[in-house]
């Protein structure tokens, strides 16, 4: 058994010297190094931005989407969408644990990986035959490799697996929202969540509430999504706006917040083009959290500069200590979150 690098650099095929996330191609050999873990894969969760891009590019043709996902995994040794640059995560059963693995996992345990598929060596052996290409969640068979420095969480036994997977996929968002709102010590904090009826969006609303935000504003795409949130208690106010249309978006957010921008704006929309609207919707001295993987760093940075907007901008790092437990806690506490998630990922496991 070989000795691995805790960050997985020994799995990089090309380019030499890159870390796995930036690599073009990884080695998904099932033989594990002494600090690695092999997972027998049961289900992938493609991240929302990646799935939407694939769905749009193939005009909703499930067969073509499936073929492209298989081709990406085959070519790259990981599910790393080359257009969006994003991945997702997976659930499976621990199959083998190297003697020096620090992850504390045991063979036979059901786990969700909490590191992105963009850096997880992955091999699929069933041709994704049980997937029709029409959902973000992908029943799959194969194996994945975790490094010494990866993260995985045992699946909770009180939730259906597909719901736990959907919650854990976006668990970085609520933890980051709580941290950002809680650290604002001056005055009452207003929070606007763009894409608020989605998975990360609805959990972000719940986290803003939990962190005692003074006002929580849900920004949703259409009246259907507004109706889903109405009466849920997750938001104080709901506005319908296209997050990619900066001027109307900022006007509606500002009107709903008594003439000021939000102190904290959270971007949870799964399409590109929300940077400028989010910046314009944020008060001077406020913070924009770009959780969305469809965010463009140059567009955000240059847009803020061009608008002379004194706002802090955070990239939504998917990892915050305690993020998985916190998201599951919010989810268990709030039955409306469960309803919203079921609406997206269905009732079937
Ligand atoms: P989701 O459940 O699909 O939610 C996205 C929401 O945005 C949906 O309600 C969608 O409405 C709405 N939306 C789409 N276009 C809009 C527009 N023009 N204006 C207003 N709302 C719009 O997605 P998610 O799983 O929460 O993921 C959200 C983003 O987070 C994605 O970009 C995903 O890749 C990213 N993500 C980041 C991390 C990280 O670690 N930073 C981890 C996981 C996911 P419809 O459903 O009606 O289209």
Q: pLDDT, tens digit, for every residue of 25-47?
A: 999 999 999 999 999 999 999 99
Q: Read off the pTM.
A: 0.94
Residue 166 lies in a domain: no
Q: Is residue 298 located within the same domain as residue 270? A: yes
Residue 227 lies in a domain: yes
The atom number, within ligand 1, closest to the CA of 166 reads 25
| 130: CB partners within 8 A, 6+ apart | 139, 140
pLDDT-derived band at 76, boundaries 50, 70, 90: very high
Count of beta carbons in the 10 Å neighbourhood of residue 78: 26
Task: Compute the average pLDDT of residues 275-304.
Answer: 97
Q: Is residue 183 located within the same domain as residue 289? A: yes
Does the CB atom of residue 318 touch ligand 1 within 6 A? yes
Last residue of a domain, one of 97, 126, 155: 155
Range of the domain at 306: 172-345
Q: Does the pLDDT of residue 288 top 80, yes or no?
A: yes
Mean pLDDT of the chain: 96
- Residues 142-176: b if buried by 16+ CB within 10 A, e if exposed: bbbbbbbebbbbebbeebbbbbbbbbbbbbbbbbb
Report the pLDDT value the prediction gives residue 295, as an integer from 0 to 100: 95
| DSSP per-residue string spanning 95-125 | EEE-TT--S---TT-EEEE-S-GGGS-EEES
The atom number, within ligand 1, closest to the CA of 47 reads 34
Residue 7 to residue 115: CA distance in whole angstroms: 12
Does the CB atom of residue 278 touch ligand 1 within 6 A? no
Does the CB atom of residue 136 touch ligand 1 within 6 A? no
- Indicate the range of 59-63, 97-101, 212-216, 343-347 predicted with least confidence: 343-347
Residue 222 lies in a domain: yes
- The SS3 assignment for 26 reads strand
Distance of CA 242 to the CA centre of its chain: 21
Please state, in angstroms and as integers, the Cα–Cα distance from residue 313 to each residue in 94, 131, 288, 290, following that order.
37, 38, 5, 7
Task: Quick: pLDDT tens for 298-322.
Answer: 999 999 999 999 999 999 988 999 9
Q: Is residue 228 located within the same domain as residue 322? A: yes
The atom number, within ligand 1, closest to the CA of 86 reads 34
Judge contact between 75 and 68, C-beta under 8 A.
no
Task: Quick: pLDDT tens for 161-180.
Answer: 999 999 999 999 999 999 99
Does the CB atom of residue 170 touch ligand 1 within 6 A? yes
Q: Is residue 144 located within the same domain as residue 199? A: no
Q: What is the radius of gyration, based on Cα positions, of the chain?
A: 20
**Residue ID of nearest Cα to ligand 1 atom 27:** 48
d(CA 294, ligand 1 centre) in Å: 9
Q: Is residue 19 located within the same domain as residue 147? A: yes
Report the pLDDT value the prediction gives residue 349, as an integer from 0 to 100: 59
């Amino acid at each position: 058994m070989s000795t691995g690098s805790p960050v997985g650099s020994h799995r990089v095929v090309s380019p030499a010297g890159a870390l796995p996330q930036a690599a073009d191609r990884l080695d998904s050999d099932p033989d594990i190094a002494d600090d690695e873990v092999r997972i027998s894969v049961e289900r992938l969760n493609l991240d929302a931005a990646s799935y939407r891009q694939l769905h749009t590019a193939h005009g909703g043709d499930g067969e073509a989407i499936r073929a492209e996902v298989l081709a990406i995994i085959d070519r790259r040794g990981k599910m790393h969408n080359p257009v969006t640059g994003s991945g997702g995560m997976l659930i499976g059963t621990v199959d083998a644990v190297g003697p020096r693995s620090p992850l504390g996992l045991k063979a036979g345990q059901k786990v969700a990986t909490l590191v992105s598929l963009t850096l997880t060596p992955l091999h699929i052996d069933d041709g994704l035959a049980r997937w029709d290409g029409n959902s973000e969640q992908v029943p799959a068979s194969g194996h994945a490799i975790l490094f010494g420095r990866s993260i995985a969480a045992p699946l909770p036994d009180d939730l259906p697996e597909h719901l736990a997977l959907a919650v854990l996929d976006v668990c970085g968002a609520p933890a980051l929202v709580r941290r950002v709102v809680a650290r604002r010590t001056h005055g009452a904090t207003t929070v606007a969540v763009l894409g608020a009826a989605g998975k990360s969006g609805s959990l972000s609303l719940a986290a803003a509430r939990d962190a005692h935000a003074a006002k929580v504003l849900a920004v949703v795409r259409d009246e259907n999504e507004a109706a889903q949130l109405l009466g849920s208690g997750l938001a104080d106010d709901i506005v319908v706006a296209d997050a990619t249309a900066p001027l109307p978006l900022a006007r509606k957010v500002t009107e709903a917040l008594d003439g000021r921008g939000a102190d904290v704006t959270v971007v949870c929309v799964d399409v590109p083009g929300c940077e400028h609207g989010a910046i314009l919707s944020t008060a001077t001295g406020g913070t924009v959290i770009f959780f969305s993987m469809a965010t463009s760093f140059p567009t955000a940075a240059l847009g803020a500069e061009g608008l002379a907007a004194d706002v802090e901008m955070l990239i939504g790092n998917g990892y915050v200590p305690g993020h998985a437990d916190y998201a599951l806690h919010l989810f268990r506490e709030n039955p409306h979150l469960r309803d919203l998630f079921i609406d997206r990922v269905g009732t079937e496991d």
